[in-house]
Structure 1
Amino acid sequence: MGAAPGTAPVLVVEEVRPVAEGVRAVTLRAPDGGALAPWTPGAHMDVELPNRLRRQYSLCGDPADTARYRIAVKHEALSRGASEYVHLFLRPGTALRVSEPRSTFPGRTAPGTLYIAGGIGITAVLAMYLRDVRDGRGPALRYAGRGRAGMPFLDELPGTGDVVVAAADEGRRLDLAALARDAADGTEVVACGPPRMVAAVEETFGAERFGPVHVERFRAEPRSFADDAPFTAECARSGRTVAVPAGETLLDALLREDVAVAAGCREGVCGSCAVTVLDGEPEHRDLLGAPPGRMYPCVSRSTTEKLVLDL
């Protein structure tokens, strides 16, 4: 499977069903019923809807089921068009282009990992938590939401194990400070949910006595950077030189010149547009923490007059 524009595979919607108030699960399969590309718990993928909108959704099914992918979509009150389409118009039989599954989470977490999910954020951590339960790694899950009726997949959580559901309409709220006090030294944390919750998790568990904190965001938080400066992107493999003016992203400049780059969130949170930098110094503006030699052109720019990219 590949994610390059125009070459992404087409899958077919097998089922759309409600799994909580305002949340629908969508099951996808190959048109011929064949095996899909494997994925690891915590992975997500781009989905291009028939209204031309592209969004990232976490895979929240069973990785052992090679015939199906499952995602879940919350109907956002201020929908930008994607969740509204899924809830009002998406039907079985609809063909959708998707990307190859990818993940910003580690392939394996430590025994005793603490999983924290807020609302629809359960979709990002569910498969990881269930894997750790099956493997006997003693994970803990704290799942918060406004009310049980709007919290998907409660019925898929194991009846035994360290699970706490904090539904606000029942008078239960997530107490991160208490969680941190009770957590063992070296505890690793995996979290996904609303921006304020994720930021609070990072602050609360950022102390040196804890292990790594892995988070996934659905949207980037507003941040400030220096004014954009123009620069040039040289594409080493194609030989093209692309001018990137102030006010235009590197990604948009590349696409304008027909340089094929995958495009996902366009907010620096999904990682789909990663490119390799051969020379020059990127100005990283993403929230993922680009690895050495890589950058995300949807938001990041350059501190040098020229970047040389492996494109």
Structure 2
Amino acid sequence: MRLRDPGGADLPAWEPGAHVDLLLTDDLVRQYSLCGDPADRTSYRIAVLREPDGRGGSAFVHDKLVPGARTQVRGPRNHFALVPARRYLFVAGGIGITPILPMLAAAESAGADWRLVYGGRTAASMAFAEELRATHGDRISVRPQDEHGLLDLAALLAEPADGTLVYCCGPGPLLDAVERTCVAWPAGSLHVERFSPKDPPASARSFEVELAVTGTTLTVPPDRSVLDVLSDAGIRMLSSCRQGTCGTCETVVLDGEVEHHDSLLTDEEKAAHTTMFVCVSRAAGPKLTLEL
């Protein structure tokens, strides 16, 4: 699908790894990776896999967003940026190929050495496979599961490769397996983007949130998120996925330690305790002070 400004204006600039929010209805907001050419400011290209058992977003896009239809778009936003490196190993699963597509072109343009391993359930289900083969040839390894089985991550990732960054996007089990396999790699080598949340915390407890601007202190009970409590108090915040995957509700933390449950921050960013995603993350202690 291509999205254009109805008045013909240039769209906001973006870099590989970015996504946009589609505000489909008042209660239906979904995130989709930009998979076109960042140099093309006239349109955004996204790809939406129809999920028959999904939460309604993909069905709405497939059924309602016909040519000429209008939808609101928020962003772009990027929590999966391509860090400069000499070499890259890209691992994609299913529709997780979408944010990887512009990264390949960027790596090629930068003169980096790179390789893509792309898995999916069947060859017919793997979007852009023919485009990739035609454009990049033997740098692409397309591995449908029904023909080749699961990706051999041990062979790909068991030994750290000097100067190489690993970028992976796809279903949760693939990302979990890649994270386990890359445990011996240097910190910062692995970059992942999740379309679905990590497992939620096994238990939660009450804590206080102080709002530095107003001086208000709110109590967050075990069964509510910080975002819920802020909304109940009349504090308007942008939010979208409510799963810790999109980055919309990122909030600055001025004091206190955060119990992070998002799928976005690196280990180093989590250890700094300077930001949190209030839709899923909580306090690790009795109180947090937020820049609100």
What does residue 4 of structure 1 align with? none
- Aligned-pair identity in percent equals 44
Paired residue for 1:199, among 173, 176, 180? Answer: 176
Query: 2:241 matched to 1:260?
Result: no
Task: Kindly tell me the number of residue pairs found equivalent between the two proteins.
Answer: 285
Matches within 5 A, 1:116-195: 116-157=91-132, 158-171=135-148, 173-180=150-157, 184-195=161-172
**Runs of at least 4 residues off by over 6 Å:** none
Deviation for aligned residue 1:69: 0.9
**Counterpart Cα distance in 2 of 1:301 and 1:211:** 24
Q: Secondary structure at the match of 1:269?
A: coil
**Counterpart Cα distance in 2 of 1:210 and 1:288:** 15
Letter in 1 for 2:171: P
Q: 1:254–1:94: structure 2 CA closer, same or farther, 3 Å change rule?
A: farther
Query: 2:264 matched to 1:288?
Result: yes
Paired residue for 1:93, among 68, 82, 87? Answer: 68
What does residue 209 of structure 2 align with? 233
Q: Secondary structure at the match of 1:140?
A: strand
Matches within 5 A, 1:53-132: 53-132=28-107
Q: Secondary structure at the match of 1:73?
A: coil
Gaps of 5+ in 2: none
What does residue 11 of structure 2 align with? 36
Q: 1:40–1:58: structure 2 CA closer, same or farther, 3 Å change rule?
A: same
Deviation for aligned residue 1:131: 1.4
**Counterpart Cα distance in 2 of 1:294 and 1:221:** 18
Equivalent pair of 1:47/1:96 in contact (CA under 8 Å): yes
Q: Deviations over 1:250-307 (max 9, x none)?
A: 0111122221221121111222210001223322222323633101100112234432
Equivalent pair of 1:187/1:210 in contact (CA under 8 Å): no
Q: Deviations over 1:51-97 (max 9, x none)?
A: 63111111111100111111111111311111111122222233222
Equivalent pair of 2:256/2:283 in contact (CA under 8 Å): yes
Equivalent pair of 2:82/2:103 in contact (CA under 8 Å): no
**Counterpart Cα distance in 1 of 2:61 and 2:81:** 29
Letter in 1 for 2:238: A
CA RMSD of aligned residues (A): 2.2
Bigger CA drift: 50-59 or 30-39? Answer: 50-59
Q: Deviations over 1:145-180 (max 9, x none)?
A: 122221111233224351111023434642111223
Equivalent pair of 2:22/2:30 in contact (CA under 8 Å): yes
Q: Secondary structure at the match of 1:74?
A: coil
**Counterpart Cα distance in 1 of 2:167 and 2:28:** 28
Q: Secondary structure at the match of 1:95?
A: coil
What does residue 49 of structure 1 align with? 24
Paired residue for 1:242, among 202, 218, 223? Answer: 218
Equivalent pair of 1:186/1:211 in contact (CA under 8 Å): no
Q: Secondary structure at the match of 2:98?
A: helix
What does residue 271 of structure 1 align with? 247
Deviation for aligned residue 1:210: 8.5
Q: TM-score, normalised by structure 2?
A: 0.89
Q: 1:41–1:248: structure 2 CA closer, same or farther, 3 Å change rule?
A: same
Equivalent pair of 2:23/2:29 in contact (CA under 8 Å): yes
Query: 2:199 matched to 1:222?
Result: yes
Higher helix fraction (1 or 2): 2
**Counterpart Cα distance in 2 of 1:51 and 1:233:** 28
Query: 2:284 matched to 1:308?
Result: no
Equivalent pair of 1:180/1:205 in contact (CA under 8 Å): yes
Paired residue for 1:298, among 262, 279, 287? Answer: 279
